[in-house]
Every structure is written in structure tokens, then in C-alpha cells.
């Protein structure tokens, strides 16, 4: 991701190449500007967000890793963006304005992990009932639910 590092070197905390896949680890505050750059840069054009997946690393800190799977369809390129979030502050800016299909992905991660996406137009549960307590894919969630 030489182009991204040339655009703003501070936006890239780490680049991981493994098994033919590239992962760019970003500081939380750079997610939105990097996503905007990748989606609009004519030579890259990562125009499709295929998934957002959260990993709970409990009891480690930073606890959460939010992974964004991107595609540049015309170039047949894939890229993963990874942002690490502290367990006591799982908040990140929504990428909905860049990729509108982030809507349901962000709602799912909110519902199951409790990740809050600032600026999301309708951040509410998508799979579980509104009255559900907690976020069941967190590693510290009771296996039999809250009693």
C-alpha cells in the first residue's frame, strides 16, 4: 500500500502481507479519511465494501479489531482495513457516507459486539429484539444469557 503511505504516512500503523492478502492497520481517527481516499482515488477505486467483521480479543487490550473487506472490482484487488478499539471505548466513525451498504454491516456489529458507529443514520439492533440485554458475541457474555 505504497500509494496510501505516500498519501499520508501517519494513516498507516502497520501493513501485514500474509498468504496473498494485504491488511492495513489504521489508527481509529484515520479510518474515515483513508476509506474516502481508497474509494475515490482513480488509480485504486475500492468501490465495494464486502464485509465488516469484528474480532473480540478479550481479555487483551485493545480488545476489539474491526475489519473492513474492500474490493476494487475493476482492478481485481482486495484489501482489508483493520482498526483496533479499546474495550472501554468501542466507538468508530461510520463509513456509511462512503459505502451505503455499510448500513446493515455496522448495525450487525453494533448488535452482536456493541461497536458504536458514530454518524450512522439508524444505529439500532438488526438481529436481536430491541429489549435484548448485552451483546452476545462478546467473549465475556454469559453463555446462558443474563439472569
pLDDT digits (tens, 9 = 90+) for 3-29: 888 899 999 999 999 998 999 999 999
Give the integer Cα–Cα distance in Å for 132 and 36: 34
Q: What is the signed CA dihedral for 102, 104, 107, 111, rounded to 10 degrees?
A: -140
pLDDT given for residue 147 in this prediction: 63
Q: How far is CA 138 from CA 76, 83, 109, 141, in A?
A: 34, 17, 11, 5
pLDDT given for residue 144 in this prediction: 77
- CA 68 to chain centroid, in Å, comes to 4
pLDDT given for residue 146 in this prediction: 64
Peptide linkage before 71 cis (omega within 30 of 0): no
pLDDT given for residue 2 in this prediction: 83
SS3 content of the chain, % helix, strand, coil (to 5): 25, 30, 45
Please report, for the chain, the start and end positions of each structural domain, with discontinuous segments joined by +. 2-94
Backbone angles phi, psi at 118, to 5 degrees: -65, 135
pLDDT given for residue 145 in this prediction: 66
Task: Residues 2-94: name the CATH superfamily.
Answer: NADH:ubiquinone oxidoreductase Nqo5 subunit (3.30.460.80)
pLDDT given for residue 3 in this prediction: 87
Residuewise pLDDT in 10s, the chain (147 residues): 788 888 999 999 999 999 989 999 999 999 999 999 999 999 899 999 999 999 999 999 999 999 999 999 999 999 999 999 999 999 999 999 999 999 999 999 999 999 999 999 999 999 999 999 999 999 999 987 666
Other C-beta atoms lying within 10 Å of the C-beta of residue 145: 10
pLDDT given for residue 21 in this prediction: 94
Amino acid at each position: 500500500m505504497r500509494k496510501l503511505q505516500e498519501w499520508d504516512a501517519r494513516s498507516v500503523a502497520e501493513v501485514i502481507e500474509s498468504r496473498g492478502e494485504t491488511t492495513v492497520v489504521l489508527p481509529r481517527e484515520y479510518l474515515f479519511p483513508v476509506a474516502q481516499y481508497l474509494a475515490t482515488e482513480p488509480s485504486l477505486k475500492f468501490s465495494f465494501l464486502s464485509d465488516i467483521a469484528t474480532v473480540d480479543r478479550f481479555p487483551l487490550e485493545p480488545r476489539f479489531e474491526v475489519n473492513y473487506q474492500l474490493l476494487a472490482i475493476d482492478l481485481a484487488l482486495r484489501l482489508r482495513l483493520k482498526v483496533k478499539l479499546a474495550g472501554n471505548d468501542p466507538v468508530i466513525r461510520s463509513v456509511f457516507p462512503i459505502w451505503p451498504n455499510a448500513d446493515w454491516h455496522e448495525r450487525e456489529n453494533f448488535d452482536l459486539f456493541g461497536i458504536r458507529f458514530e454518524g450512522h443514520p439508524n444505529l439500532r439492533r438488526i438481529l436481536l429484539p430491541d429489549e435484548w440485554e448485552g451483546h452476545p458475541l462478546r467473549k465475556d457474555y454469559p453463555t446462558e444469557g443474563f439472569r
